[in-house]
A and B are shown apart, each in its own frame.
Chain A
Amino acid sequence: MQSGRRLRALPTTTERMNVVKMTTISKAVIGAALLGSCSLIGTGIIQAAPAPVSVNWYYPEFNTAVPPNQNQVQAAVNRITEKAIGVKVHLIPIPGGGAAYPQKLSVMLETGQATGIVWTSSWSLPWTNEVAAKAFLPLNSLIAKYGRGLTRTLGTKFLKGMAYNGTIYAIPNLQIEAYQPQLDGEITASEAKALNLQLAKLPGGAYEPTKIHTFPALHAFLVNLHKKYPKQIPLVTGQFGTVLFPETYGYWAVLTGTTNPFFVKMQPSYGKNPPKITLALNMFRQYIAMLHNWYQQGLINQDAGDITATEAHALQATGTEVLESCNGVPAWNPGNEASGVPKGYLPINLRITEGPLHGAPIYTGDASTANAIAAATPAPQRMAAMKLLNLVNTDSQLYNLIAFGFPKVDYKKIGPNSIVFTAAGAKYFANDNWAFGNVTRGYTPTSPAYPKFSWKVMENINHHAVASPLVGFNFNTTPVQTQLADMAAVEAQWNQPLLAGVYPVSKLSKFEAAMNAAGQQVVLKALTRQFDAWWKATHK
């Protein structure tokens, strides 16, 4: 192996003597300078530069190992942060992603061994649990002092989404915070391009995928597609069934997650009186009846009630599926099919057809990821952590470095602000740029799958999004944990066949009875009591 170092001829005696002389002189000069500056520092004429404050930053790494260039990127990050805010960051990625990270960090937080910034979300290391366990610091005063920049770039709408009993506990990483309710986001197909070409030849009007916004229109489209391509299954699903978006029926979900059956009817305004939480049984009935109808017509795979999510994905991968289930792809913005939707795909949007929010994207806070500060963090590091979060969310150069790594190694610039990943040779980037901050501050990543991707689509959605009036309410589940566990067991048994359309609506009454027996009414009472108290406290 070539070392890159070259052998050098040994110095002659004269050279060595010169070196000795030079070294002695240098030492004398440096020593005098040091003595001089010490005396000046002592007299207060020159201030000694304060040592940078070190801050840890824990986040999940969706890779098997720490990236090879981790130390180099960290050093480059520190050159910026030390100069700008006097902070030295110790980046601590936890490889293994979504599963390893919460297991490690929850123990570290509980034992007070994690200090500094801690990545959190609604789905991995759930932030509400950690706040309830007093593992995260309240951030209001720190944001007011050191986070003005990030407040400006994020907007208070999304900051409030990280509030627990009125106090903010984390800084959201702005990405697609809002979404358009949709059963299925995209049309794809096995031989995607071939079929899509044929799709383009389908009759216009209601069958044009970009114009489908209601369930009946989608149904008509699927039936037509099924006739044309009888060997293809239009909708493949498995373990988790389809996703019911209550917003499509004019309801806000009170709890995060799609299977918690507590809802509030959408209204233009609620006033001081808290809206009533209901079980919205009619909505379930309507949805299950519709799905079962589709299932009987062969629009859903016939084994949807039995197969696991992995098996469903495998079935999708064989190319039998026409519609692919997805959340979050910004299919809302008219014309975005040219920018935010993968190549060879066409978007389908199901819009809110009932209630006052017709057609609007919504923000519920349940898709956010964020960065919090561990409660065990010592005071100087707390300030430093907030300064760092502020800088990452406002300084594009820093964000791009910490999120994407080095140019030419991890990505290639193809425009003033757009890049393409060099997936094969990447030494740092692991597709987790969304873990660090506001993604719209950084480069626009494009890929063969998303050739015309643009942050503007997301920014537009986020800007227009209507925030759920329930954002900021967090249910303390401690008093009803037994009932919730029993309800979860009932749901685990029923959800798949129900939400995959396998069961007819007549079976719903048995499901409701089982949920009641599990203590649904007890949970409803506790939830209503807490919700009413929160509403009154926040709507004075």
Chain B
Amino acid sequence: MPSGGISIIRVAFHTLLGCLTAMFVIPFVLVISISLSNQGWLNAHGFSLWPHGLTLLAYRFILQEPGIILRAYGVTIFVTVVGTTCSIFLTTLIGYVISRPDYAYRRVTTLYIFFTMLFSGGLVPFYLLMTKYLHLGDTIWAMIVPGLLSPFYILVMKGFLSKIPVEIIESAKIDGASEWRIFFRLVLPLATPALATVGVFAAFGFWSEWFNALLFITNQNLVPIQLLLYRIFENIQMITSNPQAASALGINMNAVPTTAAMMALVVFVAGPTLLLFPLLRRFYVQGLTVGSLKG
């Protein structure tokens, strides 16, 4: 690419990227705008990029019982932090083992892991395993254990760790380092980009988790934010589709911020992950190209 001056390719490239960025940013701006708009205005005029009749009613509607929301956030943060930490550790452990050329059964082990990507055990056996055999029903671990290991992440990790020269490991061995020491002091620091990539994937997975919670959690104190928001969403849907029920309860449909509240839910759910992503962006980009170049 020529240095200095404005080449046509450069302008086209920037325009394309600008359009792409706009495609991602505008919908989210729209979401925020709707969440801050007056429901009556939305009903009458539709959506706009700028909030009309600026109001925080949708957020007040969702935060009617802040204690429940805060507790649910707490559960989700616990699940995300503990789940992601354990997931990264276990994924790296397995990825490292099957990446070592001196491990005799690495092909069989890799096939064993890959095979689980192709077939799922099905919902019923999964439910029975979790509740009847592992006795994890209605415990916080029901939201953590199923997401601990993903074959895809293991293979991503293996791809990255395979690039670490065997000589480094061997020299560490000559220096008298044990396998655990090699893993913790050498492999983990070298694998930081891959850890960040897998960590972001895993964290998003744990953060967005709601279906396992729906299946296994009954205890009100263990409900994560996503399940709670799903319930709020369902209730709004019910009110919207049953004006009769709303009328019977004396609810003024125009006063309920239905659309605005749904968009406020999106802000609630997406907000923290939006903050997390820029922090890990540096590692993330590096991690995504893992295995794409042979050094």
Contact = CB atoms under 8 A, between A and B. Distances in A.
A99, A103, A108, A113: which has the most chain B beta carbons within 10 Å? A99
A113 B240 contact: no
B127, B137, B243, B247: which has the most chain A beta carbons within 10 Å? B247
A65 B43 contact: no
Interface stretch (A3-11, A222-230, A443-451, A456-464): A443-451
A113 B131 contact: yes
B128 to A, nearest CB: 5
Contact of A421 (B68, B249, B259): B249
Interface in B197-226: 214-215, 218, 220, 223
A276 to B, nearest CB: 36
A314 B240 CA distance: 8
A294 to B, nearest CB: 22
Nearest to A186: B244
A310 interface: yes
B131 A318 contact: no
A470 to B, nearest CB: 27
Contacts of A100: 214, 230-231, 234
Nearest to A240: B241
Contacts, number: 106
A328 B242 CA distance: 12
A65 B220 contact: yes
A236 to B, nearest CB: 12
A96 B214 contact: yes
Given A104-B214, A107-B123, A96 B230 contact: yes
Contacts of B214: 96, 100, 103-104
Contacts of A63: 231, 235
A63 B214 CA distance: 14
Given A113-B132, A447-B248, A66 B43 contact: no
Q: What is the interface residue range for chain B against chain A?
A: 35 or more
Interface string A253-278: 00000000000000000000000000
A314 B38 CA distance: 13
A310 B228 contact: no
Chain B binding surface SS class: helix
A97 interface: yes
A107 B238 contact: no
B42 interface: yes
B43 A315 contact: yes
A97 B235 contact: yes
B117 to A, nearest CB: 23
Contact of A431 (B228, B243, B245): B245
Contacts of B228: 64-65
Nearest to B69: A64
B175 interface: no
Contact of B254 (A99, A315, A317, A445): A317
Nearest to A344: B247
Contact of B234 (A97, A104, A342): A97
B250 A62 contact: no
Nearest to B62: A64
Nearest to A63: B235
B231 A318 contact: no
A333 to B, nearest CB: 17
A85 interface: no
Nearest to A190: B254
B40, B231, B253: which has the most chain A beta carbons within 10 Å? B231
B44 interface: yes
Contacts of B127: 107-108, 111, 113
A314 B231 contact: no
A104 B238 contact: no
B220 A326 contact: no
Contacts of A314: 42-43, 258-259
Contacts of B123: 107
B232 to A, nearest CB: 5
Contacts of B230: 96, 99-100
B65 interface: yes
A96 B43 contact: no
Interface string B111-140: 000000000000110011001100001000
A65 B250 contact: no
B128 A111 contact: yes
B231 A95 contact: yes
Interface in A316-339: 316-318, 324, 326, 328-329
Contacts of A488: none
Interface in A437-479: 445, 447-450
Contact of A98 (B238, B240, B247, B258): B238
A423 interface: yes
Contact of B247 (A103, A110, A449): A449
A111 B131 contact: yes
Given A110-B124, A326-B244, A64 B131 contact: no
Nearest to B44: A318
A309 interface: yes
Nearest to A185: B244
A92 interface: yes
Given A65-B228, A447-B248, A96 B234 contact: yes
A431 B240 contact: no
A447 B43 contact: no
Interface in B160-207: none
B249 A64 contact: no
Contact of A96 (B231, B240, B250): B231
Given A431-B248, A448-B250, A65 B131 contact: no
Contacts of A65: 65, 68, 220, 223, 228, 231
A447 B243 contact: no
A329 B244 CA distance: 9
Interface in A289-321: 309-310, 313-318
Contact of A449 (B137, B218, B248): B248
A357 B220 CA distance: 50
B1 to A, nearest CB: 47
Contacts of B248: 342, 431, 445, 447, 449-450
A431 B249 CA distance: 8
Contacts of A431: 245, 248-249
A497 B287 CA distance: 50
Given A65-B220, A95-B231, A313-B253, 14 more contacts: A64-B231, A94-B218, A97-B238, A99-B230, A99-B234, A100-B231, A108-B127, A111-B128, A314-B43, A317-B43, A326-B243, A421-B250, A423-B250, A448-B250
10 smallest beta-carbon distances between A and B, as pairs: A96-B231, A64-B231, A314-B43, A449-B247, A66-B220, A448-B250, A447-B250, A318-B43, A99-B234, A111-B127
9 contacts: A96-B214, A97-B238, A99-B237, A310-B258, A313-B240, A313-B253, A447-B248, A447-B250, A449-B250
